Every structure is written in C-alpha cells, then in structure tokens.
Amino acid sequence: MAEPEPIGPALTRATERLRAAGSPSARLDAEVLASHAVDRDRSWVLAHPEATLDAEAAARFVAAVERRAAGEPVAYIRGFKEWQSMRIRTDRRALVPRPETELLADAAVAEIERRLAASDATITAWEVATGSGAVAVFLARRFRTAVALGRVRLVASDISPDALELTAENLAEHGVSDTVSLACADLLEPAGRSLPRPDVVIANLPYVASDQVDARSGSLGHEPRVALDGGPDGLAVLRRLFGQLETRARPAATVLLEIGADQGPAVAALAPRGAEMAVVPDLAQLDRVVRIDLPD
Ligand SMILES: C[S@@+](CC[C@H](N)C(=O)[O-])C[C@H]1O[C@@H](n2cnc3c(N)ncnc32)[C@H](O)[C@@H]1O
C-alpha cells in the first residue's frame, strides 16, 4: 500500500515518471489520473495541492500512473471518455472515440435534419463500424423523438462482437437502447438477418496502413487492431464498403466518412461512379470527413 502524501508532490513525481516514459501530455495525464484516484474533478485537484491522498487513493494513483507509463490510454484507465459532452464508456473492446470524430457526428446530424426537412419519408441512418457506440449514442439522443414518431430509423453495426457489447452498454447507460437496432455485420452485410437499406451511411472505418499498425507504439498499441488496420494502403476496408454501396444502400444515399488527413485525393479516386464527393475540413483545415452523394 502506498504512503499517504499531499497531492502536490505526488503530482510532480507522477509527471516526471510519465515524462520519462514518453507521454506527450505528462502533466495533464497526471492531473486527470489524480482526479480519478480521488474521485473529484481536475479543478479540485489543482486547487488543493495540500490535500492528502490517503493510502488507498495514493495506491490507486500509483497504479494508474504505471498503467499510463506502459502506454495505456487515459480513457481506458478511467473507463470513460468525455465526447460531445457525453460520458462514453471505454475499454479494450473498442477504439477510444477521438475529438475529430465529433465532426463526423455533427455532419450526420446535419444530413439527417436536412432529409427530415426535405420529405416525409422515413430515413434510415446506419452507422457502420460503431466501436464504442459514441456516434450512435449521439444520434440516438438527438433523434429520439423522430425515432419514436417513425421518422428516423437508426442502425449501428460492427464486425467485432466485443465492440458491440460495449456499444450496447453505452446505449443502455444513456437510456437509448430501444432507439437503435444493433447488428453484427461485415460493413453493410449483417450476418443472417435483413435490415433496411440506409439513406445515410456514417462510418469511421479503420484507415491506418498495416505497416504503421505493426509499428504502433504508445496508446495505439493498446487499442484493437481490427479498429485500426485498413490494409496495405489504409483504404482496403473503405474499398469494400464502396463495393457494397450499389446493392446495399438506397439510391441517392449520402455516405459520410471519416478519413485520414492525407487520404482525400485517394478516396476521391475510389468514389463510386456517378457519385458526387466533397471534403469537409476540420478546424485545422485538414481533410477529415468525406461526403459522398450516390446517384439516384
Ligand atoms: C476506427 S474504429 C471506429 C469506432 C467508432 N465508430 C469511433 O469513431 O470511435 C473502426 C471500427 O471498425 C470496426 N470494423 C473493422 N472492420 C470492419 C468490418 N469489415 N465491418 C464492420 N466493422 C468493422 C472495428 O471493430 C472498429 O470498431
């Protein structure tokens, strides 16, 4: 059991340990892990350097710092990530949702709203490769009423049963389990069941090249390979999705994809024939989301 000690010096030591282990955000990580250990928010930790960590909290803090020093993402250690102002449960079963994926979720909301305003038809929005389910939870909370009124149908799928288990937990935690149909599916091909063809496809597919996944270090090394590995050029899963669109998506469907910042031109070259494509840059003006409108 660790000795009780004031938070201030414990933070300093943890920061040094994490810096030596190569964490790019050592001080911030230490503060967040200390707040986790004492079950208070970070501002409380910063305002009370003199407060004593009792032996149990000190032990929790040391254990958390050692996990972080071994490269584990802070979100796995805490068990959640703040994303789109929601608390999303996170663990080794799925990728930690990234800040840049908020742009994809916002684009999905805007497209579903545009379609709701344009016609009375029921809109099926399908999030492929849902992982932790962060985007699906966000859409379910936003369109809960539209789903209840039969205006929107939401589907979320993943090929990984482990990830889907976590998705289900996150949907339940946010009280929206009955708003989203979950499916184990290879992209738009669910195993052994038929689902409505989507009007809107939303996907953050694995898009890291396999050799970069082989060489990964730090936090990435703790996340599931299936969530990252996009084949030799990072685009293999996306190519397969494009190959399914003609038969699996509705005519005139919109496909919203998160891509790697340097993948815009390559994705444009692969876009299905007759489709229109536009890139939505993020705040740093990096290519981040691709919008593809399929022909009628
Ligand atoms: C980059 S993660 C995205 C997770 C989540 N949507 C997010 O943005 O945080 C990619 C996800 O794709 C899933 N995946 C990989 N290959 C797939 C396939 N062929 N069909 C469906 N899902 C797949 C992985 O299990 C993983 O959950």
The answer to whether the CB of 216 falls within 8 A of the CB of 228 is yes
**How much distance in Å is there from the Cα of 63 to the middle of ligand 1?**
30
**How much distance in Å is there from the Cα of 3 to the middle of ligand 1?**
43
- What fold is seen in the domain 5-70? Helicase, Ruva Protein; domain 3 (1.10.8)
Write the CB contacts of 110 (distance below 8 Å, at least 6 apart in sequence): none
Determine the Cα–Cα distance for residues 190 and 188; give it in Å rounded to an integer: 6
- Tell me the three state secondary structure of residue 205: coil
The ranges assigned to domains in the chain are 5-70, 101-293
Q: Which DSSP symbol is given to 252?
A: T
pLDDT digits (tens, 9 = 90+) for 202-211: 999 999 999 9
Give residue 194's pLDDT: 85
pTM: 0.95
**What's the pLDDT band for 1 if we cut at 50, 70, 90?**
low
Q: Exposure pattern of 51-65 as b/e (b: 16+ CB <10 Å)?
A: eebeeebbebbbebb
**What's the pLDDT band for 216 if we cut at 50, 70, 90?**
confident
pLDDT digits (tens, 9 = 90+) for 80-130: 999 999 999 999 999 999 999 999 999 999 999 999 999 999 999 999 999
pLDDT digits (tens, 9 = 90+) for 168-194: 999 999 999 999 999 999 999 987 778
- State which of 205, 216, 242, 245 you would mutate to test the pocket of ligand 1, scoring each by most atoms of that ligand within 8 A of its C-beta: 205
Phi (first) and psi of residue 63, to 5 degrees = -65, -40
Fold: same for 5-70 and 101-293: no
Q: Domain spanning 101-293: which superfamily?
A: Vaccinia Virus protein VP39 (3.40.50.150)
Structure token digits, residue 53: 């960590």
